């Protein structure tokens, strides 16, 4: 019985989601010049029942003007939604390009663990996201690692 309950907690599939919005057009506030956008990218693990167990996010806000990035702010965050799962740490983070460039690229990877007190950790997942934002307002991503 316990083994069956434990199996129900394991991550068996993975998916992605994204959200985008335009913050301001033609803005020139402080370091933010041009059109500004905000986006988040999510990689999450799901249980056999279809419920989300954990999520790994990359949040990016950027402004662009005349094909160049004029402002860039990047953050990563975990979200644990199921008992026994925990976020261990961010294991990788790389950023290239940025302000003054035509593109900016971010790679971020986190580590999540399924731990049972007496048995220790019985499953770990390391989702990653690679996000590229451009000076024309477009963005793209790749993900994996779980």
pLDDT in tens, 120-145: 888 899 999 999 999 999 999 899 98
Please report the pLDDT score of residue 30 as a whole number: 53
| Predicted TM-score (pTM) of this structure | 0.81
Separation of alpha carbons 143 and 15, rounded Å? 9
Q: What is the pLDDT of residues 7-56, one digit of tens each?
A: 545 555 555 555 555 554 444 445 567 889 988 899 988 888 888 899 99
Please report the pLDDT score of residue 1 as a whole number: 41
32 beta partners: 29
Length in residues, the chain: 146
Q: Which domain holds residue 75?
A: 2-144
Confirm if 39 and 60 have CB atoms less than 8 A apart: yes
Q: What is the pLDDT of residues 77-132, one digit of tens each?
A: 999 998 899 999 999 999 999 999 999 999 999 999 999 877 788 889 999 999 99
- Our count of domains for the chain comes to 1
């Amino acid at each position: 019985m316990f083994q069956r309950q434990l199996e129900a907690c394991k991550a068996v599939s993975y998916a992605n989601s994204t959200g985008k919005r335009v913050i301001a057009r033609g803005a020139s506030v402080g370091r933010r010049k041009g059109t500004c956008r905000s986006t988040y990218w999510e990689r999450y693990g799901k249980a056999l029942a279809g419920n989300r167990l954990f999520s790994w996010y990359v949040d990016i806000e950027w402004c662009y003007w005349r094909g160049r990035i004029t402002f860039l702010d990047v953050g990563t965050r975990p979200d644990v939604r199921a008992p026994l799962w925990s976020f261990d740490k961010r294991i990788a983070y790389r950023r290239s390009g940025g302000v003054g460039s035509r593109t900016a690229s971010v790679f971020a990877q986190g580590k999540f663990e399924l731990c049972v007190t007496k048995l220790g950790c019985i499953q770990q997942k390391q989702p990653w996201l690679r996000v590229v934002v451009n000076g024309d307002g477009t963005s793209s991503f790749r993900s994996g690692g779980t």
